[in-house]
Amino acid sequence: MSKELTHHVYCADKEEEIKHVVVLLHGYGANGLDLLDLGQTWARSLPNTVFVSPNAPFSCDAGGEGFQWFSLQNYTPEAMEEGAQIAYPSLKAFMDQMRAEYSVNKISLLGFSQGTMMALYYALRHGEHVSGVLGYSGALLGAKLPVLETQKSLPICLIHGEADPVIPVQATEMAYTHLQQLGCDVEKMIVPHLEHGIDGAGLSKGGVFLERIMSEH
């Protein structure tokens, strides 16, 4: 059963024709506003683009006013994949809503941490509706998927801090290997000394990646 996701929107020029949509998926305990500043960072290099950042469907079980895509009380891959399965219908419904609202066939997905896990989870099942995935500090859940035609041309860029104490950089190394095996067009960037976050180098790399995938659609 899906839950309707509340969301935040940033568009540099509300008068311009929207040709591209970037959906930003936040991490555990954050909210949709957490990543929305990225739209301001990239606005000049990504014209005709709207950035949409939903709140995850569930209140964070660690307390506070943040949200979660799934609980981290049980940190096993099996438990997290089960949590992603529960959140998936809400994300799918939201993506369908955004494609209809902005009259686009494909959407670019950006995730951070748990948001990256959800972005990859959705994209590998609906590559026909995804321009590409930009994932920061995340991991791949449920890697044992059939190789679909839509995966073979799906651009994915994974960026991770070498010193990440929250999600070890090995998670991205493993995801990179699995995605290559699935046939995705995947690249990675490991940022020296960076912990669990996004730095200037990652922003620059991500902006170039988004420019590339948007120019192809």
Check pLDDT > 80 for residue 15. Answer: no
Q: Which of 132, 140, 135, 54 is nearest to 97 (CA)?
A: 54
pLDDT in tens, 163-175: 999 999 999 999 9
In angstroms, rounded to a whole number, what is the distance separating the alpha carbons of residues 184 and 81? 20
Report the mean per-residue pLDDT for the chain.
93
- What pairs with residue 135 in β-bridges? 111, 158
What pTM, to 2 d.p., does this model score?
0.95
Closest by CA to 132, choosing from 140, 143, 123, is: 123
Residues 130-150 have pLDDT tens digits of 999 999 999 999 766 776 777
Tens digits of per-residue pLDDT, 49-69? 999 999 999 999 988 889 999
Give the integer Cα–Cα distance in Å for 184 and 190: 19
Q: How far, in whole angstroms, is CA 178 from its chain's centroid?
A: 17
So which residues are the catalytic ones?
113, 164, 196
- Comparing 1-5, 87-91, 202-206, which segment has the lowest mean pLDDT? 1-5
Domain architecture of the chain: domains with CATH: 7-215 (3.40.50.1820)
